[in-house]
Amino acid sequence: MLNRRQFLLGTSAVLGAASLAAFFAAKKTTPAWLVSAFSNGQQQHFAGAFDLNGQLINAVRLPGRGHGVLAHPSKPGHAIVYARRPGDFLLEVDFINGVVNHHVSAETGYHFFGHGAFSHDGQHLMSVENHFAKSCGEIVIRDALNYQVIEHYDCEGIGPHECKLLPNSNTLVIANGGIKTHPNWPRKKLNLETMSPALSYLDLNNGQIIDHFRLDNHQLSIRHLDISSSGKVVAGLQYQGPKSDIVPLAISHHGQSQLSILQASDDTLRPLNQYAASVCINEANNQVAISCPRGDQVTFWDLDTDRFSHKVAIRDVAGLSINQRSLIATNGKGQSWDLSAAPNTRHAFNDIRWDNHLTTLNGM
């Protein structure tokens, strides 16, 4: 097991040349698959990989409902599948053979929040977890080979959700959602009056929070995010206040002293019902796609100006991912859409309800 110092040394290096070469070699010669958690009509839960032709490659049964998926950086066709909050498992899944390679349980007193990130060198997995006795959000660092815990870092916030690394940096950006939960009341939000969400930056070199950025409206939970190659962060919001309030859907941050709100008219925002699911930056057209399942829309925003551009209507849409320069969306009706195709193309999967998030990984 690596000690903390070895871990810091490892993560200080950016993605190595050898692994880069392997990564892109694989990408050029192999079809890219998409992976998402899903459920069927019998409330059974799975994670499945499918291709752009709408073919399910493989699926594995999950112990409970899944949430976020991470492509394994050094194992083509493999991914980490997280349990949905407040689940206690993460799995390393080999989608080529349809098997679970590793089943990792949360430590006693912890549960997962559904998301994580690999270090740039691929040697460490950083998971967003809840120490629920202390009601303390933490980033838990594990060895990416054997998934043994190396380190815990305090997020300095309640209810952290999605996290991603800044490019070419050892700084982890965390959407500190602010919502207190406890596994004894699995889906209940326990602190809506006092919640204090933030976009937080954690220095992985020392485990210290560099800065928090908050919104004036403390009930705008910062939940999911994506980061551009230049380091611009766009994060989706889920509002916990009165249903009739018209609130922003997302914020951005690129080194300024405060968060910027993505701009749209009230008439655009109102039907979105205060809820963003996935955020996906598409640098090919300089846009941000944000899925809004409660508004049955994928919304598109200009990456530079933070202004609303247009929308595409898809019922119960949530998952978004860039795959071979195409934006792919999935929904709870078992459909996948290529939103870069003209006209948009759609595949339907029988008895599948694609869950919140979608990830691209390399197949074989």
Partner 1 sequence: MKNLSTLTVSIALALCLTACGGGSGDDTTVTPTTPITPTTTIEEEFGSYLTDLANNHIMPGYQDFNQQSIAFNQAAQSFCSLTNATDTDLDTLKSAWLSNNHSWQNIQWLKVGPVVDMLFRIQLWPDSNSAIDRAIATHLLEPDTITAELIAAKNVGGQGLPAAESLLYPTDTSDDLLSSDIKEKRCELITAIAQNLENMSTNINNAWQVSGDNYVNTLITGTGEFSSKQDAVEELITNWLEQIEKVKDEKILIPLADEAPGLATLAEHSLSDQSLASIKINIASFQALYDAGAGHGFDNILNDFVEQQSVATSMQEKITSAQTAIDLLEGSYSDALNNEEKRLILEEVIIKLRELRDLFTAEFVQVLDLNIGFNSNDGD
For residue 73, whether the previous peptide bond is cis, meaning omega lies within 30 degrees of 0, is no
Interaction of residue 98 with partner 1, rule CB under 8 A: yes
Torsion of CA 187, 190, 196, 199, to 10 degrees: -20
35-74 burial, b if ≥16 CB within 10 A, otherwise e?
bbbbbeeeeebbbbbbbbeeebbbbbebeebbbbbbbbbb
Interaction of residue 253 with partner 1, rule CB under 8 A: no
Is 120 or 161 the residue whose CB approaches partner 1 more closely?
Answer: 161
Residue labelled with tokens 């709100």: 261
Interaction of residue 59 with partner 1, rule CB under 8 A: yes
Identify which of 159, 130, 129, 127 has the alpha carbon closest to the alpha carbon of residue 142. 127
Interaction of residue 56 with partner 1, rule CB under 8 A: yes
Is 175 or 204 the residue whose CB approaches partner 1 more closely?
Answer: 175
Interaction of residue 91 with partner 1, rule CB under 8 A: yes
CB 195 → partner 1: shortest distance, Å?
A: 15
Given the rule CB under 8 A, which of 3-11, 204-212, 250-258, 270-278 is the region that contacts partner 1?
Answer: 270-278
CA distance 290 to 279: 5
Q: Which phi and psi angles does 159 have, rounded to 5°?
A: 65, 45
CA distance 225 to 216: 19
Interaction of residue 338 with partner 1, rule CB under 8 A: no
- Candidates 26, 62, 117, 262; binder of partner 1 (CB under 8 A) is 62
Q: Which phi and psi angles does 33 have, rounded to 5°?
A: -100, 160
Sign of CA dihedral 119, 129, 205, 198: positive
- Candidates 294, 309, 340, 345; binder of partner 1 (CB under 8 A) is 294
CB 6 → partner 1: shortest distance, Å?
A: 27
- Candidates 6, 12, 44, 148; binder of partner 1 (CB under 8 A) is 44
Q: Which residues here bind partner 1, judged by CB under 8 A?
A: 39-44, 46, 56, 58-63, 67, 84-85, 91, 97-103, 114, 161, 187, 223, 238, 242-246, 266-267, 270-271, 275, 277, 293-294, 296, 313, 315-318, 331-333, 335, 346, 348-356
